[in-house]
Amino acid sequence: MSDTVTEADRGKLPREVYVLVGASFLIAIGYGLIGPALPNFAASFDVGLTAASFVVSAFALVRLAFAPASGRLVTRFGERPIYLWGVSIVAVSTIACAFATEYWQLLLFRSAGGVGSTMFTVSAIGLLIRISPVHLRGRASGLWGTSFLLGGIAGPVFGSALVAVSLRAPFLAYGLALVLTTLFVWWQLRHSELAARQADDTEPTMTFREALRHPTYRAALLSNLANGWVVLGVRMSLMPLFVTAVLAKGESFTGIALAVFAAANAAVMLGAGRFADEHGRKLPAVAGSALLAVGMVFLGLTDNEWVFLAASLVAGVGSGAMNPAQNAAVADVLGAKARGGSVLAGFQMAADVGAVVGPLAAGAIAEQWSFAGAFAVTGGVSALAFVLWLFARETLPPRDVGDTAQDVTTDVPGEARGG
């Protein structure tokens, strides 16, 4: 343990963090690989647009439904085995998709992938909490989030090339890549003491209800909901429609706007994580949620392409600033050794709910009212997160506090420590 403390004191992240970061990048590339192919592959089975679109939605819905069970599995068996099983399930289900001969098979296999996806997502967050030193949690979270973002940007480039070969090729390539990712993570973490749960682990289990008593966890839930609503939902669904209908621009401009958002997000995420470690989690979360709200509102108020790009930039900066801070704050509330699979699952579910509900709500508002109203409601969700963060507690422990489950004992009511 002394070697780990020495590395942490020098500002070095443990090797295990970089293993998870590399795996995150490969997994994100895979999402991008199959993104261009999935709707068209479903439509090739002679089904309508609704059925073809539902294959995409089914994955997210299964993720959402299975998240509580994933949290219980993490609490019961630990993060490392559930992570490996989760990636393995996605690998097998994705390879199976490549060999589907009927629509119902594709729907079944893709839905099964949602089970594995939520398993490795919840367990990955838990692993990051376990292996990251307290004063480096923001940087670890920023690095992990940036790797996933960059993988998501690179994935569609390779996916589009594979689609030209065959609609089945991206699924086969992604599945095989996940098999290699599983073997790589297992090999790198199989003897890791940091990643392993201690045999004499007697730390209490924090429940979701107990975590909700902490104002910072409530703020993180709402900001993660807003992040899912914007980044995973409205950004990909409403922004392209707005570009076509209001700005009268083509798909190339849509790609530029999305790239500006993603580039701004990636550019500030690492710096925001470092700031959160050195100066506290609250300030970047407050500033990020405010910028995200302002950016989204202004997106719907302009018919000028340059103002639209500027608003995309502001929103991307806001999302990038908010992410590492909220993730690190959840880690502080839970503590490095406390078991809380349901706490992590609830946090992840907030983003999934935003990703599912956001496009539906914003689309309905845009259709019945206006694009400005849809973007205003989207910004309003971020504004609510801003308000909660204003009243949240700072959770960054003093530098001399050990990396234990009692990281923020002074910030958490006694009854919220799970016993």
Cα separation, 382 vs 379, whole angstroms = 5
State yes or no: pLDDT of 312 exceeds 50: yes
CATH assignment of 208-417? 1.20.1250.20
* pLDDT recorded at residue 49: 65
Architecture (CATH level 2) of domain 2-189: Up-down Bundle (1.20)
How many other CB atoms sit within 10 Å of the CB of residue 177? 17
Range from 13-17, 194-198, 232-236 carrying the lowest mean pLDDT: 194-198
Domains 2-189 and 208-417 share a fold: yes
* pLDDT recorded at residue 389: 96
Please write the tens of the pLDDT for every residue from 376-399: 999 999 999 999 999 999 998 876
**Averaged pLDDT score across all residues of the chain:** 83
* pLDDT recorded at residue 201: 55
Spatial contact of 174 and 117, defined as CB atoms under 8 Å apart: no
Query: Residue 11's pLDDT band (boundaries 50, 70, 90)?
Result: low
Please write the tens of the pLDDT for every residue from 12-62: 888 888 999 889 888 888 877 787 677 778 888 888 767 776 787 788 888
DSSP annotation of 406:
T
* pLDDT recorded at residue 205: 75
* pLDDT recorded at residue 291: 96
State yes or no: pLDDT of 115 exceeds 90: yes
Range from 82-86, 127-131, 273-277 carrying the lowest mean pLDDT: 127-131
Domain range summary for the chain, segments of one domain joined by +: 2-189, 208-417
State yes or no: pLDDT of 99 exceeds 90: yes
* pLDDT recorded at residue 3: 44
* pLDDT recorded at residue 416: 33
Q: Spell out the long-range contacts of 400-409 with Cβ–Cβ below 8 A and sequence spacing 24 or more.
A: 401/134, 402/134, 403/8, 403/133, 403/134, 403/336, 404/335, 404/336, 404/337, 405/203, 405/204, 405/335, 405/336, 405/337, 405/338, 406/335, 407/134, 407/332, 407/335, 407/336, 408/332, 408/333, 408/335
* pLDDT recorded at residue 36: 67
Range from 92-101, 228-237, 291-300 carrying the lowest mean pLDDT: 228-237
